[in-house]
Amino acid sequence: MSVATRELRRRPGRFAFVGIALALLSTLLLLLGGLLDGLVLGSTGAFRAQDAPVFVYSADAQDSFLRSRITPAERDQIAAAPGVTGTAGLGLTLDAGRLEGTTGTDSLLDLAVMGYEQGTNVLPAPPGPGEAYADAALQDDGVTEGSTILVGLGEIPVRVVGFVDDTSYLLQPALWVDLDTWRQVQTASRPDAAVADGVVQVVLVDGTGTPESLVTAVDDATGGATSSLTRDEAIFSLPGTAEQNATFTALIGTTIFVVGLITSLFFILLTVERRSLYAAMKALGVGTGALVRWSMLQALLVAGTAFVLGGLVTLGLAQALAGQIPLLLEPTRAVVTFVLLLATAAIGSLIPLRRIIRIDPASAIS
């Protein structure tokens, strides 16, 4: 350990290139992870706020929230399905609104007006007619408790009575209202897609047994008029969510591969440069294992330092870009990135192992 750290202190320039490269790659990994979390969590908050294990859509909607319509008769069939213990309706209108007393396009607020009829661990019981719980993200736009938002083309007045966290839908902050208020907004803003009394877009199902068994029971009970999904399936059926997850996961995986490639190439070159030194140390009785641990320790120290530098750069960028991109830096993501970086650097430092083993101590004597 002392030899490894002494070389790092005395000859830091030797490790500067790989350190800078790993710091930049650490920044890229943290930014990619932050964008993935920001996009996925910002798109799925409204669904993650629900406790129900099963989401039921109409079969012809192709699992689209906006196209789905569940009639009262179909809802009765859902409620009568084996294992179902409770149902709750959910509706959505993607709309715009503005604070009462403001004018102009600059004052418009993007909104996901969510009609619901059952409280959850995240959502209180539905508010009264003309009232709403607003997503906390709307506070950045000047919305406060007691504010009145004029929603949609009909400028339906909705008074904010409280705030809830992390309930956005496709990056639009949600306004949680009772189902009657939602139908009023939907009819005024989308007269071609007006919703009749008793009709909802999605039915949330609670019950006994596994979510998969409930899915089968509900769709059988409605004779195929519905398409039921588990909560996780419903989340990943949201437009773009699965594609975003796959794309960013592939980018993160590629970046990790590049980390390993750069680390292995650096230590291969370093091993070639140290060949005579390793031979001399072997001649003095230093084992191959000690030489390998020397290289691995240096790789871990360089990678750890690079991660700290990359983390500081990422925090600075997050502050500079706040509100401009959906970047969310989660501690869990940072820990996973740190572990992956160290593991990849350690593995990369082992690539020259065969070269180290084949070094002949006799070459030091000659």
Answer yes or no: is pLDDT of 273 > 90.
no
63 vs 226: CA distance, rounded Å? 10
Point out the domain boundary residue: 210, 236, 262. 236
Answer yes or no: is pLDDT of 222 > 70.
yes
Please name every residue paired with 160 in a beta bridge, in sequence order, or none if there are none. Answer: 132
311 vs 366: CA distance, rounded Å? 48
Point out the domain boundary residue: 220, 236, 252. 236
Answer yes or no: is pLDDT of 317 > 60.
yes
Answer yes or no: is pLDDT of 7 > 70.
no
- The pLDDT, as a whole number, for residue 3 is 60
- The pLDDT, as a whole number, for residue 139 is 95
Answer yes or no: is pLDDT of 299 > 70.
yes
Answer yes or no: is pLDDT of 240 > 60.
yes
Point out the domain boundary residue: 236, 267, 298. 236
174 and 202 share a domain? yes
245 and 145 share a domain? no
Q: How far is CA 223 from CA 87, 89, 330, in A?
A: 18, 20, 44
Please name every residue paired with 266 in a beta bridge, in sequence order, or none if there are none. Answer: none
Q: Give the mean model confidence (pLDDT) for residues 242-253.
A: 94
Answer yes or no: is pLDDT of 133 > 90.
yes
Q: Which long-range contacts (CB under 8 A, 24 or more apart) does 316-323 make?
A: 317/27, 317/31, 318/34, 323/140
Residue predicted with more confidence, 343 or 278: 343
Reported confidence tier of residue 5, pLDDT bands at 50, 70, 90:
confident
Answer yes or no: is pLDDT of 255 > 80.
yes
36 and 55 share a domain? no
- DSSP one-letter string for 240-266: THHHHHHHHHHHHHHHHHHHHHHHHHH
325 vs 218: CA distance, rounded Å? 40
- The pLDDT, as a whole number, for residue 350 is 84
68 vs 227: CA distance, rounded Å? 10
69 and 181 share a domain? yes
- The pLDDT, as a whole number, for residue 366 is 58
Q: Give the mean model confidence (pLDDT) for residues 158-182.
A: 97
Percent of the chain with pLDDT over 90: 73
User: Whole-model pTM?
Assistant: 0.84
- The pLDDT, as a whole number, for residue 345 is 92
215 and 259 share a domain? no
Domain count, the chain: 2
Helix (H) or strand (E) holding 210: none
Q: Give the mean model confidence (pLDDT) for residues 334-344.
A: 95
39 and 141 share a domain? no
Average pLDDT score over the chain: 90
Task: Using alpha carbons only, give the angle 220, 53, 75 rounded to the nearest 5 degrees.
Answer: 45
108 and 187 share a domain? yes
Q: Give the mean model confidence (pLDDT) for residues 286-308.
A: 83
- The pLDDT, as a whole number, for residue 295 is 79
Reduce the DSSP state of residue 13 to 3 states and report it.
helix
Q: Give the mean model confidence (pLDDT) for residues 189-197.
A: 92
137 and 174 share a domain? yes
Tokens 């019950």, residue located = 207
Nearest to 306 by CA among 270, 262, 269, 273: 262
- The pLDDT, as a whole number, for residue 91 is 97
90 and 114 share a domain? yes
28 and 102 share a domain? no
210 and 148 share a domain? yes
Q: Which range among 31-40, 122-131, 172-181, 288-297 shows the weakest confidence by mean pLDDT?
A: 288-297
8 A C-beta contact, residue 207 and residue 42: no
Answer yes or no: is pLDDT of 1 > 70.
no
Provide the residue range defining the domain that includes 145: 47-236
18 half-sphere exposure, CB direction, 13 A CA radius: 26
127 and 261 share a domain? no
Q: Give the mean model confidence (pLDDT) for residues 296-305.
A: 89
